[in-house]
Structure 1
Amino acid sequence: MKDLVHRLPQKRSIVTALPGPKSAAFAERRRAAVPRALSPQLPSCVVDADGGVLVDADGNSFIDFASGIAVTSVGASNGRVADAVAESAHRFLHTSFMISPYESYVAVCERLNELTPGNHERRTILLNSGAEAVENAVKIARSHTGRPAVVVFEHAYHGRTNLTMAMTAKSAPYKSGFGPFASDVYRAPMSYPLHDHLDGKTAARRTITMIEQQVGASNLACVVIEPIQGEGGFIEPAPGFLGAVVDWCRDNGVVFVADEIQSGLCRTGDWFACDREGIVPDLVCTAKAIAGGMPLSAVTGRAEIMDAAGPGGLGGTYGGNPVTCDAALAALDQMAELDLCDRARDIGSIIHEVLDPVAAESGRIAEVRGRGAMIALELTAPDGAPDKAYTSAVQAACRDAGVLILTCGMNGNVIRLLPPLVINEELLREGLGVLTDALTDRA
């Protein structure tokens, strides 16, 4: 994997106790100003970031295996993106596209229309967040079909707005105490090969039977699925599952929506996770990595479906802000020019090379799964039960040693690895070594 040149030294260095004095003072300010629901995992105040590192106010340098939750794929301060933001901001910071349009919005839509799967005519709308993209995909599907129902899946995560909380599976901390939720949302069984031991077609028949019996195709506007689930545990369905669900949707006039917010834009080694099996969704939701860290999301889909809503039916004040659009164009250019799909595949190969032998020997790692730079480890107790405490201990040990990792899964027993796609190999291997030590020392 070719090393890239970065602005900051690409090294791990913990020079103070964590948190250091400046970060400790910052934490006091944070607790006094910010509600407790926002509880950061890193007990530091980040002041700089580049490539594969985060630097805090006390001079500690952490290896970043989180990427701002899969956002900073091109790096947290990519020079091309930063220059595009600065140049754009000096022209104008905002003029709502719904009132006085501008070229960069259209250019981003054109790029996404070209990149998303399929050869059909496409349209794109730009928005602010992943949850907003999912909500608009549902609106568009309902407008197109004239039907109300939405099917989502076990372990799904789609956001924190009222509708997307209904679509999200996990209660605490995302839903508990926040109801009532939007209606006409139904949850179908997901293909989870580690636990259900079903091939893709068998798992799909189970899912389709549930939909037909409990929802009915004539009532169903859309099926919404993450091709590789994110917060639910980086669950990759068995081959053939997605294709069978797509075929059923086509046969029944149901809109198939791929939530590629975390898995899309080179993260899994393809532009979109759907590409691996040749899946062509009707609508694709993107966000996270799309603008290199600036807030932007999109829904891209078949022209006849996207055009179902009438004039004024879709939009928002800030959606497709001109500065974020210019950032997105630069980020998408960097993804192509740096061949981040290929780098993601290389990152995945290195992760498997290092962690597969650890999993084979430990007895505490049920599975190393995922694709590209979207890899997870599902951790268990010696008796095979999910082990959240072990997972949390490993995460804490990595953090204290200077490596930031995330956890996920319905039982909180999955470690997820989301390094920036521009991370250099030496730093990647060093971070994996820290993770290996933490897994071994706490097993």
Structure 2
Amino acid sequence: MSTTAEAMRSAEAHSAHNYHPLPVVVASAEGAWMTDVEGRRYLDMLAGYSALNFGHGNRRLLDAAKAQLERVTLTSRAFHHDRFADFCTELAALCGKEMVLPMNTGAEAVETAVKTARKWGYEVKGVPDGQAKIVVASGNFHGRTTTIVSFSTDHEARDHYGPYTPGFEIVPYGDLTALAAAVTANTVAVLLEPIQGEAGVLVPPAGYLRGVREVTRERNVLFMADEIQSGLGRTGKTFACEHEEVVPDVYVLGKALGGGVVPVSAVVADRDVLGVFRPGEHGSTFGGNPLACAVALEVIAMLRTGEYQQRATELGDHLHRELNLLVGGGAVTAVRGRGLWAGVDIAPGHGTGREISERLMELGVLVKDTHGSTIRIAPPLVITKEDLDWGLDQLRSVLAAG
């Protein structure tokens, strides 16, 4: 078995440097804990950016995957398979919608949502061909494909990848007036994260999502909610939009839908939206494959119990109470979030987000920084209160050390 240093040297030598991971090399994991190649244990307080909502090695998900592995893993969509109809039926029901278009990754799902909105705009709304506009928010993170970075305001994600795809109008996140002003006769959709994760777990002002829903309904525009990080239990609801009793026209899902076992994503909407597609117009070799459907079906069944949403609510309330006690003490300037999801802004002079993450790693806790001074906390929803408190103790220790 390689040491941490050996594994890192090999990775640096033979992989593209598109990530800057913390210097830990994970070899195994269970629940909310990970173990590195040298046997040291770490509390996972990131959960794969919400892909691991149900924890590492969840027995129900592994059993579902193993059973399917013995039967059939891939047919392509050239043929039907016996898990596909159940997956589409159950996911549509979970979302309160009629149709599902499965893909693999979150970025693929967002690209699919963009194509859906444009096609709907031309064929249903009657927008002149080539004139469709989609309103998005500054600070967004929807993925890193060429089209998606075209409407990013993050220079690291966007710069030097042009020429950029046109057709997007960027407005400030949380500014309903600006959003309403940006909607024109050629606008086909508003695409938003109900909570912006990569931007630092930004929760919009109360009433914002309801306002977006009203504007889009009045102007005959699709409201597309990117719930890839915020959805499937993370915030204490199945979908973050539920906190404002809002139902979008289109759900964009991913990450936790695959249970941390396989990549699964989907666009979910009613027939009058997804019904615009005809055979051959969009697809994916792996999208909706039998293994993905088997795992996702188990994820849906687990969410239907309400257990994970309840854990996210109760432990999330505790998490935010404890984190908010740190504000005003000199080390933390702000805390944001909802459920088991928080962005913690570190005061200048106490270290960058990266430095705080590295110090926490040394104490056995894994988090991730963003935008220089912020750390994100998003443990698996299966974490115990005792482990959560231990992780928070380590954060207090790091902050107290200055």
TM-score by length of 1: 0.85
The equivalent of 2:307 in structure 1 is: 339
Q: Matched residues in 1 for 2:258 and 2:275: separation?
A: 25
Displacement of 1:186: 1.5
Q: How does 1:347-362 map to 2 (within 5 A)?
A: 347-360=315-328, 362=329
The 5 Å alignment of 1:62-73 reads: 62-73=42-53
Q: Is the 8 A contact 1:75 1:421 kept in 2?
A: yes
Distance 2:382 2:304 in 1: 12
Which of 84, 91, 111 matches 1:135?
A: 111
Q: 2:21 corresponds to which letter in structure 1?
A: P
Q: Which residue of 2 aligns with 1:4?
A: none
**Inter-partner Cα distance in structure 2 for 1:91 and 1:284:** 30
Partner amino acid, structure 2, of 1:225 = L
Structure 2 spans left out of the alignment, 5+ residues: none
Looking at structure 2, the residues matched to 247 and 256 of structure 1 have their Cα atoms a distance apart, in angstroms, of 10
Q: CA deviation at 1:166?
A: 1.5
| RMSD of aligned residue pairs (Cα, Å) | 1.7
In structure 2, how many angstroms separate the alpha carbons of the residues matched to 1:64 and 1:359? 23
The 8 Å contact of residues 354 and 368 in structure 2, kept in 1 or not, is answered as no
Which range moved further: 45-54 or 333-342? 333-342
- Which structure 1 residue ranges, 4+ long, deviate > 3 Å from structure 2? 335-338
Q: 1:324 & 1:109 partners in 2: Cα distance?
A: 12
Residue 278 of structure 1, CA deviation? 0.9
Determine which of 112, 120, 130 is the counterpart of 1:144: 120
1:286-305 equivalences in 2 (<5 Å): 286-293=253-260, 294-305=262-273
Instruction: Give the whole-Å Cα distance in 1 for the aligned partners of 2:49 and 2:69.
Output: 25
Tell me how far 1:44 sits from its aligned partner.
2.6
Contact 1:127/1:297, CA 8 A, preserved across alignment: yes
Contact 2:346/2:353 (CA < 8 Å) preserved in 1? Answer: yes
The alignment status of 1:182 with 2:165, answered yes or no, reads: yes
Question: Is the aligned partner of 1:225 residue 2:205?
Answer: no
Check if 1:262 corresponds to 2:224. Answer: no
Q: Which amino acid aligns with 1:272?
A: F
% same residue? 32
Please say if residues 227 and 273 of structure 1, whose CA atoms lie closer than 8 Å, have aligned partners that are also in contact: yes
Q: Measure how far apart 1:34 and its partner are.
A: 0.7
Alignment-mate amino acid for residue 87 of structure 1: A
Q: How far apart are 1:373 and its partner, in Å?
A: 0.8
Letter in 1 for 2:382: V
Closer, same or farther in 2 for the Cα pair 1:47/1:75, shift >3 Å?
Answer: same
SS in 1 for 2:3: helix
Distance in 1 (CA, whole Å) between partners of 2:289 and 2:56 is 20
Secondary structure of 2:398's counterpart equals: helix
Residue 333 of structure 1: CA displacement?
2.3
Structure 1 CA distance for aligned equivalents of residues 400 and 355 of structure 2 = 11
- Distance change (3 Å), C-alpha of 1:280 and 1:152: same
Deviation of the 1:204 alpha carbon:
1.1
Query: Which 5+ residue runs of structure 1 have no aligned equivalent?
Result: 1-19, 192-202
In 2, the alpha carbon distance for the partners of 1:337 and 1:56 equals 33
Aligned ranges for residues 116-265 of structure 1 at < 5 Å? 116=95, 118=96, 121-146=97-122, 147=127, 148-172=132-156, 174-191=157-174, 203-209=175-181, 211-212=182-183, 217-265=184-232
The answer (yes or no) to whether the contact 1:159–1:168 under 8 Å persists in 2 is no
The corresponding residue for 1:394 is: 356
Does the residue aligned with 1:91 lie in a helix, a strand or coil?
A: coil
The answer for the alignment partner of 1:435 in structure 2 is 395
CA distance in 2, matches of 1:54, 1:320: 29
CA distance in 2, matches of 1:99, 1:261: 27
Shift, 1:277, TM fit: 0.7
Do 1:257 and 1:285's aligned partners in 2 also have CA atoms closer than 8 Å? yes
Residues of 2 paired with 1:348 and 1:400: CA distance? 25
1: distance between equivalents of 2:278 and 2:359? 53
State the partner residue of 1:318. Answer: 286
2:379 maps to which of 419, 422, 428: 419
Mapped partners of 1:166, 1:441: distance in 2? 41
1:165-211 Cα shifts (integer Å, max 9, x gaps): 12332111x222222221111111112xxxxxxxxxxx3123312x0
Name the TM-score, length of structure 2 as normaliser: 0.94
How far apart in 1 are the matches of 2:72 and 2:352? 50
Give runs of aligned pairs for residues 44-123 of structure 1, distance below 5 A.
44-96=24-76, 98-116=77-95, 118=96, 121-123=97-99
Q: Distance in 2 between matches of 1:71 and 1:347?
A: 18
Instruction: Give CA-to-partner distance per residue, 1:253-279, whole Å, 9 cap, x none.
Output: 111100000000000000000011111
- Indicate the residue corresponding to 1:13 in structure 2: none
Confirm whether residue 308 of structure 1 aligns to residue 276 of structure 2. yes
Give 1:39 shift.
2.9
Rate the CA distance shift 1:310–1:377 in 2: closer, same or farther, 3 A. Answer: same
Output one character per residue of 1:235-267: Cα deviation in whole Å (capped at 9) or x when no partner: 111111111111111111111100000000000
Aligned to 1:196: none
CA positional deviation for 1:390: 2.9
Number of residue equivalences = 393
How far did residue 338 of structure 1 move? 6.7
Q: Secondary structure, in 3 states, of the residue corresponding to 1:124?
A: strand
CA contact (8 A) 1:291 1:329 kept: no
* Structure 1 position 314, deviation (Å): 2.1
Q: 135-144 or 26-35, which moves further after superposition?
A: 26-35
The answer to whether the 8 Å contact 1:157/1:167 transfers is no
- How much does 1:366 deviate? 2.6
Please give the per-residue CA displacement for 1:400-436, whole angstroms capped at 9, x wherever unaligned.
111000122xx42221111000011111110111111
